[in-house]
Chains A and B, each alone.
Chain A
Amino acid sequence: MDANASARLKRRAATIAHRVGLFLAMLFICLPGIWIVLSSLRPTVEILAKPPIWIPQQVSLDAYVAMFSGVGKGGIPVLDYFRNSLIISVTSTVLAIAIGMAGGYAFARYRFRGKSAMFLGLMLTRTVPGIALSLPLFFVYARLDIIDTHFGLILAYVALNVPFTIWLIDGFFRQVPKDLAEAAQIDGCTRWQAFWQVEFPLAGPGIASAGIFAFLTSWNEFALASQLTRSINSKTLPVGLLDYTAEFTIDWRGMCALAVVMIIPALILTFIVQKHLVGGLTSGAVKG
């Protein structure tokens, strides 16, 4: 066998090994998700079976039917939870992005006293685990009488997300050359127009990713929400999962079904925004 043939064979083997490796990694990542979907379709006996039953024997949509069939018939107020989750997540994301854009732009473009201290301070807030805040927050909220309100959760989530959105958006604005905004101003834009016409579209991918992260954080957050919500006034979907736990039993199937309902909007959103996440949009602006 000559050297070329053996090199070709080696390359082919490497490709196959590569694919097998990727498949295993993806399987590992996807398995919990698949397991949740499968579990939502089969009876508890099968879910809890030991050794595990990998291939579902009895598949039914009973859990979904029950979920939507109203209180008293094994259902939970899923539509209320869904509405709460949506209002809280969307509002807090919009606010976090608006503040993040203003803050990120300021950090990227302007020099001011105490800039790095301020930036560091923002990052330090990320080191505090959310759960550690829940008790103090509960007391403050109780005093302010904003427990079990949309406003209360929105406030908490905005505060939670803002340091992150500022940090991420700052990085993207830094990549947009300053010359572009200046050129736009010379071309007749006001400072404000230059921002919206030139800098904003170019930082778009960063803002979109910050948006996804902020939305998912709010959508999935459980620790704070479980403390600060009480009723269908403000309970979000993750807190709603607790409705499937009773004193002595846990309805695993129902819980998994609700989890699937939760995942779907997040997946859809990610798919929609994904195409805006293309990087490298600024290439060619200035000397390459």
Chain B
Amino acid sequence: MAIVSLKKLTKRYGSMEIVHGIDLDVADREFIALVGPSGCGKSTTLRMIAGLEDISGGTIEIGERIVNDLPPRSRNISMVFQSYALYPHMTVRENLGFSLKIAGAPKEEMDRRVAEASAILGLDALLERRPSQLSGGQRQRVAMGRAIVRDPDVFLFDEPLSNLDAKLRTQMRTEIKKLHAKVKSTVIYVTHDQVEAMTLADRIVIMRDGYIEQVGTPDEVFQRPATRFVAGFIGSPPMNLQEATVADGKVVFAGGQSLPLPIRFKAKVNVGDKVVFGLRPDDIYPAGHGLHSGDAADVHDVELPVTVTEPLGNETLVFAEFDRRDWVSRMLNPKPLKAGDRVAMHFDLSQAHLFSAETGKSLRA
């Protein structure tokens, strides 16, 4: 059983506070992703869990044991580094078996466990090679193998895929997911790539400037972002966000254009409130080219000029000007459009989000 629990975890470098007393509970066998822009404190948090950074305040529990001052080796964790950190002077076999050698495991056990890990990851043919003779994807696999061999309570991944090219990254992503299904350990996975977080994690922790913005399942953080930041960070292309003022039954944008106030927010805002209006590209589409998923009564039509299109084959991203800026919309089953064409756009306001302009928090409550 390996529950990981962070309580008021704080990190300071001198007078600079990097992580501001965060609380997080990770269930046993849960795959949790820490995601956020660079400098948000996610890697520092992971390194504190690993024991590679001292903690300045709060507690870390692994498996209901406080590990604040334990060295990394006493925490029964494994970590996969962004740089892989393979030992260059050892063969793949020695790399895999290193932790067992240090622990003084008998040779038969070492052989057996190295063989198991190498079978899981398909490393059998590479065992006698050195890291310098491996490709990036192979090194990545060895790094994971080294983590598996330890049979840890918790796997820590620190941006493990960011050094791979796009194609390999997708492939390794799938392998990590399969791996988690096989080894069933608790995983804490740091990434700056929201797609990785969405595809892999049971729950996502979105961090920003050393605070946790939201913790939720991929579905929750996508459908019900708690803050404006989360709304902009999760989803690709990102949500259209525009500052506006609430008027009588309308939201009025800075440029003077307006949209009807979404029905579900009618009771939540008052006239004169400063808000941020958000709508995902999926919920703006040329008539007949989208998936309408909400309340038909809340769809609003606007005719807009197209500025740019980005065809992706199965769909086209259409940038259309509304209230003096480009709004991204997703056109399914695309038809050719060119800049300057005027297109009738459906705004599915049942899917709209409103955030407080002041606090950035969702007004949905």
Contacts and interface: CB of A to CB of B under 8 A. Distances in A.
A binds B: yes
Contacts of B48: none
B52, B77, B85 — most chain A CB neighbours (10 Å): B85
A182 B85 contact: yes
Given A184-B98, A186-B79, A187-B102, A283 B52 contact: no
Nearest to A187: B99
Contacts of A184: 87, 98
A208 interface: no
A282 B50 CA distance: 24
A201 interface: yes
Given A193-B102, A284-B131, A284-B132, A187 B83 contact: no
A186 B84 CA distance: 13
B208 interface: no
Contacts, number: 89
A247 interface: no
A285 B131 contact: yes
Interface string A241-277: 0000000000000000000000000000000000000
Contact of B81 (A183, A201, A283): A183
Interface string B52-94: 1000000000000000000111000111010111111100000
A193 B72 CA distance: 13
Contacts of B71: 185, 190-191
A194 to B, nearest CB: 9
A92 to B, nearest CB: 29
Interface string A194-221: 0001100110000000000000000000
A123 interface: no
Given A177-B85, A284-B130, A185 B72 contact: yes
A288 B103 CA distance: 30
Give the most central of B71, B88, B134, B146: most A CB within 10 Å: B88
Nearest to B130: A284
A187 B98 contact: yes
A284 B134 contact: yes
B132 A186 contact: no
A68 B356 CA distance: 97
**Which of B71, B72, B83, B150 is most buried by chain A, counting CB atoms within 10 A of its CB?**
B72
Interface string B252-288: 0000000000000000000000000000000000000
B302 to A, nearest CB: 48
B72 A186 contact: yes
Given A186-B72, A189-B102, A193-B102, A287 B136 contact: yes
Contacts of A288: 132, 136
A177 B102 CA distance: 20
B190 to A, nearest CB: 14
Interface string B127-139: 0001111101001
A281 to B, nearest CB: 6
A282 B87 CA distance: 8
A187 B89 contact: no
B131 A185 contact: no
A286 interface: yes
Contacts of B98: 184, 187, 197
A188 interface: yes
Nearest to A180: B85
Contact of B88 (A182, A188, A191, A283): A283
Interface-central residue, B50, B73, B133, B150, by most chain A CB under 10 Å:
B73
Contacts of A283: 88, 132
B163 interface: yes
Interface string B217-260: 00000000000000000000000000000000000000000000
A185 B139 CA distance: 19
Contacts of B83: 177, 179, 285-287
Contacts of B84: 285-287
Contacts of B103: 188
Contacts of B133: 284
A30 B12 CA distance: 60
Nearest to A284: B132
Contact of B87 (A186, A190, A285): A285
A180 B143 CA distance: 12
A201 B89 contact: yes
Interface string A159-198: 0000000000000000001011011111111110100011
A277 B146 CA distance: 29
A110 to B, nearest CB: 14
Contacts of B102: 187-189, 193, 197
A184 B50 CA distance: 12
Nearest to A176: B88
Given A185-B52, A189-B73, A285 B86 contact: yes
The CB with the most chain B CB atoms within 10 A, among A184, A282, A287, A288, is that of A287
Interface in B101-138: 102-103, 130-134, 136
Cβ-closest 8 pairs across A and B: A284-B132, A286-B83, A179-B85, A187-B99, A284-B131, A183-B85, A285-B88, A188-B102
Given A186-B79, A284-B86, A287-B84, 15 more contacts: A179-B81, A182-B79, A182-B81, A183-B79, A186-B51, A186-B52, A186-B73, A186-B77, A187-B98, A187-B146, A188-B102, A197-B102, A284-B88, A284-B132, A285-B131
23 contacts: A177-B83, A180-B85, A182-B72, A183-B79, A183-B81, A183-B85, A183-B87, A186-B52, A187-B73, A187-B98, A188-B103, A190-B71, A193-B102, A197-B98, A197-B102, A198-B89, A201-B89, A282-B88, A283-B88, A284-B86, A285-B84, A287-B83, A287-B163
